[in-house]
Chains A and B, each alone.
Chain A
């Protein structure tokens, strides 16, 4: 027989492990967002505040196709395609003109793009959230180790996240396109001198980034909600991630994503518990949640103060 106390601490351990998984899952989603963002910055030198809009466009494309075909998998494909098409169009019409501009113009133009795209989507789809749900195969939970059960869909998200990380790694290190991307990251003049069609390369990179964001939007939209403005909170988090990781570095984006995901999840759950040791319960809940919501920004400020160009950034 276990004593109640060890039973209790075992429970806490299980809970901690489950929360760790939740943090990693959140992190992998952030990675899909931030990988594109950091890639676009690394290759084209563009700060794209409108990246969250592709997250939204992906989710809406998926919801549209899911409503027509009732297939989740087709909806995922649609999210990739929808965001990529939107990405190509926007790159050609607007973004292309911003590469030579300074960061300020980029920030403002893409800020304006957020207004335009959000309101445009509302125009087309109306003000109410849309329906998108996960397929039955992924509904429910599976046991992992003894005593720990975890959501199938969230495991699927983690799996997809790492699959895409691997895919990106192969794309960048092993393919011709990857070589050009790396060359672009290192020396922008050089690559056009080599006779690479630079504007096509830029469009492709932008579309890859947009479609990754779109995929993230669809996958998350299925368990959260598909609504206008859904991309903004995650956009800011994605920026926190790439700044922590070092802008332009995909490895940094991966590490930063997991770090932010875990810090946020663990912090907001365990900080109030921790504070309960020092203060009265409902106060601890309130203060703990307040600090919990600021935690990742504090983390980011600390890292930048110690390493002004992020963990893996070039100084």
Chain B
């Protein structure tokens, strides 16, 4: 744990260093890439709560990522076109204020994760993996064929939503906003994991029957973890829409679920910073391999398989071992 903390400090250092380099060398794209890593890291941190700490293997977190993204896109789209969102029971208009959009994105993601969790958690094991996948697929096909918000073409919002006194189109400012949410979600996860509630959901991963026998209603615990997990991922989706000024059904594709899962595993499961490291590694791989060969996905697949077969505890786990040796 101490060693991991040492690494976490290094990670924080990189989170500051990389955008600074971007500014010094006048490479704004570098900051954009870093922002992408941070946002995908948040999505992974969300999934990690359910997957890493509570053992709920959800192959449907694209659903929440997409919902957060679409809530943001739709609100901003209505504000852009000056149309009301709905007129009954009260007239509600869209908004392009992040401070208004975030709470709504959070609420809607929470609502969806509650409904999906309520239904999915009746099952377990492979069935749980597949039913979460099914719900994400449902939303995916719905978003493709529902014409009001662009269908497969997606929804372009042209400008990032606004934040008081900040020019969000400036890469560094938007990076800082994303970084804030990253730190916030790490903080929330940390508090949760060390709380009595956290002890109970981590115990469920080890042995659910035993937790039940102590008199804890495991269903409720799992549902709550699932909702928090989905909500954090939804928030990441909201930021991702703002990063690209665009949202489309690809965010709901099952490959998105797979990739978020890959971040968690690459970095190291049930490690607070794991998903962030995983996302960074994934993006770096995509960028470097992609510049050498069109068939980079082949090599990506190969590397992933090797990591899963021979480095089960992820990148952070590798370093952990190494340091222990040196000591």
Contact = CB atoms under 8 A, between A and B. Distances in A.
Say whether chain B's binding surface is mostly helix, strand, loop, or mixed. helix
B126 A301 contact: no
A300 interface: yes
Given A112-B301, A300-B134, 14 more contacts: A103-B129, A104-B265, A105-B308, A107-B129, A108-B304, A109-B305, A116-B301, A123-B295, A293-B144, A294-B138, A300-B130, A304-B127, A308-B122, A309-B123
Contact of B57 (A107, A119, A297): A107
Nearest to A111: B258
The residue in A117, A122, A293 that gathers the most chain B C-beta atoms within 10 A of its C-beta is: A293
Q: Chain A contact residues (Cβ within 8 angstroms of B): what range?
A: 35 or more
Nearest to A120: B298
B147 interface: yes
12 contacts: A105-B312, A109-B308, A112-B308, A115-B300, A115-B304, A118-B297, A119-B296, A289-B145, A294-B141, A304-B122, A304-B123, A304-B131
B22 to A, nearest CB: 29
Interface string B71-113: 0000000000000000000000000000000000000000000
A294 B134 CA distance: 9
Contact of B135 (A112, A113, A247, A301): A301
Contacts of B142: 290, 294
B119 A301 contact: yes
Interface string A234-260: 001001100100010000000000000
A98 B308 CA distance: 9
Contact of A109 (B122, B141, B147, B309): B309
Contacts of A247: 126-127
Contacts of A103: 57, 125-126, 129
A301 to B, nearest CB: 6
Nearest to A235: B254
B137 interface: yes
Given A122-B295, A290-B142, A305-B119, A115 B301 contact: yes
A286 interface: yes
A309 B122 CA distance: 10
| 10 A-B pairs with the lowest CB-CB distances in the bound complex, closest first | A116-B301, A115-B301, A112-B304, A119-B298, A290-B145, A293-B141, A297-B138, A119-B297, A308-B123, A243-B130
A116 B134 CA distance: 24
A97 interface: yes
B146 A290 contact: yes
Contacts of A286: 145, 147
A153 interface: no
B174 to A, nearest CB: 30
Nearest to A105: B308
A290 B130 CA distance: 21
A227 B58 CA distance: 29
Interface string A280-315: 000000100110011001101100110011100100
A243 B301 contact: no
A41 interface: yes
A108 B261 contact: yes
Given A109-B305, A111-B262, A308-B127, A104 B138 contact: no
Nearest to B312: A105
Nearest to B147: A286
B308 A108 contact: yes
Interface in B29-61: 51, 57, 59
Contacts of B269: 104
B214 interface: no
A236 B262 contact: no
B133 interface: yes
B212 to A, nearest CB: 17
A212 interface: no
B59 to A, nearest CB: 7
B130 A97 contact: no
Nearest to A119: B298
A107 B261 contact: yes
A290 B141 contact: yes
A114 interface: yes
Given A239-B133, A304-B122, A310 B127 contact: yes
Given A104-B265, A108-B265, A290-B142, A240 B134 contact: yes
